[in-house]
Structure 1
Amino acid sequence: MIDLAPPPPSLLIDASLFLDFDGTLVEIADTPDAVAVGHGVAPLLERLAAALPGGVAIVSGRPVHEVQALVAPATLPIAGSHGLEIAAADGAIAAPDRPAALDTALAASRVFASRHPGTLVEDKPFGVGLHYRGAPEAGEAVAALAEELAAAHDLHLQHGKMVVELRLAGRDKGAAVEWLMAEPARCRTVPVFVGDDVTDEAGFAAAVAMGGAGVLVGPARATSATYRVNCVADVLAWLDAACREMT
């Protein structure tokens, strides 16, 4: 496996920037609600949005309303729930109806978590996350339950870092990038997608297919990304350097 070079600051010239959130802009926390957003993140996002021709959008597995609260006072387009809900900068959200199958999967996941201390159920608008960071030994049982529920209720199964998620099928982060790139403000730019998890691979692939680039955050691995940085701090330093170069 050949390691990837770090992205140059010039990569964002004539670009639209798409950023994952957890593990990319902020460190992953033990629980989703324990994440800490650095004081400089929102101002940096606002500077980038003003400097980039295609602006900045957040593309996250979190629900839109959570991301909006975490990046405030910055107001940005946000694709939440792995692209199943998309909010324009004015806050208007386009999203499908929540299927009843998710409520069934949610109930089964809560029963499982009650029997496996350290696991955590996350109820999302269009998904159910079952985290096992607090109980690594439960990983195989978590995966088995998720596979069973996905097959029984026609849900998409998504693996992540110490989490499995059951969600409505039909969208991923790559589809979100394609949808957002069709907007007039971005149609003459190239997409750059930055993310850390396997859930971000669809975003990398979509960006590269449209003539742009993907930036992997974290250790080297097989990926569709074209550049790599080591950690969240490196992401923020690179974005700051790129912003300075464009202003």
Structure 2
Amino acid sequence: MHATFAPPKAHDRSAAPLEDLLNPRQCAFFFDVDGTLIDIAIHPDAVSVPKSLLDTLDILDRETGGALALVSGRPVAGLDALFSPLRLAASGVHGAEVRLSPDAETARQSPALAEGLRGAVAALARDLEGVLVEDKGSSIALHYRLNPEIGPRLRETLAGFVAADAGLALLPGRLVFELKHAGHDKGSAVRQFMQTPAFAGRTPVFMGDDVTDEAAFAVIKDMGGIVISVGRDFPDADVVLPEAQDVRALLDTIAANSRRA
């Protein structure tokens, strides 16, 4: 990659305006969704995507020549439904699904979890107050936002499934634990995108808010790109934005500046 700079953290007021660093004609953009582009809700089905965000992403996708991708824990089909009618390059289920361009087919990087395992995890959740199950096929997530105190017990129980199967991994997130196949993550998805013509040769930029994004953060740093964290300061973060609405405001500014240019 041609860029090796590390922009200062957002709280350093001597820094150049962030929007000047994120030129759509030079950058490739990767966005986590929940907590980054959109506000987190109690349940994944309760979120909403502002119309203004759809318009901004559409502009940036065109201004970058297609070098823009959603990189989420949600399945790609769920991303399409959430961002409809916009269809973007996307990776879902933490790298288990990858669609390298809007018109491409979604490639599965790992098979569905065994039906017996998914049933056992769902049964576990039914016995725990305030735990919500999200079965994505190739992974299964247990959200405990309604009962945060149960987190340590839930982690210990799920760790037992991983101990019994070396092919599994336990991915912690913001008040969620997710059982998935080992060997793929958001970082591996970013590497695939950066090898395609639309993304290659650009400065990669990743925006994310959770520990589930750290694998992508590490890959972006290896490539000399820019890591923007949301809500907290991760070790690899070059810039920290307070919350999702600040991400949306930044993207609005970048899109407007690009169109004027």
- TM bin (shorter chain): over 0.9
Any conservation in 1 of the 2:36–2:247 contact (CA below 8 Å)?
yes
Aligned to 1:5: 10
Structure 1: runs of 5+ lacking an equivalent: none
TM-score normalised by structure 1 residue count: 0.93
Pair 1:223 & 2:235 matched:
yes
Pair 1:204 & 2:209 matched:
no
Equivalent position SS for 1:57: strand
Alpha-carbon distance between aligned partners in 2 of 1:162 and 1:196, rounded to the nearest angstrom: 13
Aligned to 1:146: 158
Equivalent position SS for 1:141: helix
Alpha-carbon distance between aligned partners in 1 of 2:98 and 2:62, rounded to the nearest angstrom: 21
- The one-letter code of the counterpart of 2:85 is P
Any conservation in 1 of the 2:209–2:232 contact (CA below 8 Å)?
no
Aligned to 1:71: 83
Alpha-carbon distance between aligned partners in 1 of 2:231 and 2:112, rounded to the nearest angstrom: 34
> Which one of the candidate residues 21, 28, 31 is aligned to 1:19?
31
Give a deviation string over 1:11-64, Cα, whole Å, max 9, x none.
Answer: 222000000000011111101111121121111110110112452100001111
Q: Please report how far the alpha carbon of residue 99 of structure 1 lies from its aligned counterpart in structure 2 after TM superposition.
A: 4.5
Equivalent position SS for 1:143: helix
Q: Please report how far the alpha carbon of residue 92 of structure 1 lies from its aligned counterpart in structure 2 after TM superposition.
A: 0.8
Pair 1:173 & 2:186 matched:
yes
Pair 1:242 & 2:247 matched:
no
Any conservation in 1 of the 2:132–2:142 contact (CA below 8 Å)?
yes
Alpha-carbon distance between aligned partners in 2 of 1:125 and 1:80, rounded to the nearest angstrom: 11
Pair 1:188 & 2:193 matched:
no
Aligned to 2:118: 106
Any conservation in 2 of the 1:25–1:236 contact (CA below 8 Å)?
yes
Alpha-carbon distance between aligned partners in 2 of 1:80 and 1:59, rounded to the nearest angstrom: 6
Any conservation in 1 of the 2:28–2:203 contact (CA below 8 Å)?
yes
Count of residues paired in the alignment: 243
Percent identity, aligned pairs only, is: 39
Any conservation in 2 of the 1:48–1:243 contact (CA below 8 Å)?
yes
Alpha-carbon distance between aligned partners in 2 of 1:141 and 1:211, rounded to the nearest angstrom: 39
Q: Please report how far the alpha carbon of residue 96 of structure 1 lies from its aligned counterpart in structure 2 after TM superposition.
A: 3.7
Any conservation in 2 of the 1:194–1:214 contact (CA below 8 Å)?
yes
Alpha-carbon distance between aligned partners in 1 of 2:28 and 2:71, rounded to the nearest angstrom: 12
Extract structure 1 runs of 4+ deviating beyond 4 A.
Answer: none
TM-score normalised by structure 2 residue count: 0.88
Aligned to 1:51: 63
Q: 1:207 to 1:112 in 2, by over 3 A?
A: same
Equivalent position SS for 2:10: coil
- The one-letter code of the counterpart of 1:180 is F
- The one-letter code of the counterpart of 2:22 is L
